[in-house]
């Protein structure tokens, strides 16, 4: 009986040691303070830049239209933002010759929210572990924000996290935050 208790105790201690929390943060500062909707007007290079050059940065068009499979993001040279009113934006994906590849109008409160210094473009909360090969059962979260950095360049922040049980046994929380710079060309 004593060996059974020791085995159980050893197992519980092992689980506590293996339980983990991983966080990464490659952010290079905060958004410019007091960013108004009107200050976002301009044309931004579609390809992102980041201090972390080991991974390919997402294109701005991929952050704005993540579910559009018909848009060839590699053909988008720049993204133009026009302010239509105090609550409406027109965003266009432009090709190499300035031709419009995609355009849409977006309204504050419906398609995005303005939170202090940036626009919150998307916030998704999903379940994980329901597809074959996913080792974690729990929830995932993905959030995208866009604003200006202190130099007036476009800046997107992607935050992703997953919380749940790995292989159904080990509780874990993983979080990653990255900032991507989009050069304002106009």
Evaluate whether residue 9 is within a structural domain.
Answer: no
- Helix-then-strand count for the chain, H and E: 2, 10
| 82/101 Cα distance (integer angstroms) | 16
Is the pLDDT confidence value at 123 over 80? no
Evaluate whether residue 1 is within a structural domain.
Answer: no
**Range of the structural domain that residue 110 is part of:** 18-182
Structural domains in the chain (count): 1
Of the pLDDT bands very low, low, confident and very high (cuts 50, 70, 90), residue 7 is low
Is the pLDDT confidence value at 172 over 80? yes
List helix spans (H) across the chain.
Answer: 2-18, 60-64
> Which helix (DSSP H) or strand (DSSP E) does residue 8 occupy?
helix 2-18
Evaluate whether residue 115 is within a structural domain.
Answer: yes
Evaluate whether residue 4 is within a structural domain.
Answer: no
Evaluate whether residue 90 is within a structural domain.
Answer: yes
Is the pLDDT confidence value at 26 over 70? no
Evaluate whether residue 11 is within a structural domain.
Answer: no
| 114/87 Cα distance (integer angstroms) | 9
What pLDDT, in 10s, does the model give residues 52-110? 666 677 899 998 998 888 999 999 999 999 999 988 999 999 999 999 999 999 998 88
Decide: pTM greater than 0.85: no
């Amino acid at each position: 009986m004593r060996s059974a208790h020791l085995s159980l105790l050893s197992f519980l201690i092992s689980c506590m040691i293996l339980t983990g929390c991983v966080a990464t943060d490659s952010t290079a500062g905060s958004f410019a303070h007091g960013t108004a909707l009107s200050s976002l007007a301009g044309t931004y290079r579609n390809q992102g830049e980041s201090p972390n050059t080991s991974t390919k940065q997402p294109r701005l068009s991929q952050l704005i239209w993540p579910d559009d499979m018909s848009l060839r993001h590699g053909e988008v040279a720049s993204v133009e933002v026009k302010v239509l009113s105090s609550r409406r934006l027109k965003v266009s994906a432009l090709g190499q010759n300035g031709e419009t590849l995609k355009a849409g109008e977006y309204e504050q409160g419906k398609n995005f929210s303005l939170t202090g210094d940036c626009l919150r473009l998307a916030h998704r909360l999903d379940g994980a572990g329901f597809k074959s090969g996913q080792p974690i059962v729990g929830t995932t979260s993905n959030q995208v924000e866009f604003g200006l950095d202190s130099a007036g360049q476009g800046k997107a922040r992607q935050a992703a996290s997953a919380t749940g049980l790995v292989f159904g046994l080990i509780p874990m929380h993983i979080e990653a935050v990255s900032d991507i710079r989009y050069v304002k060309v106009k």
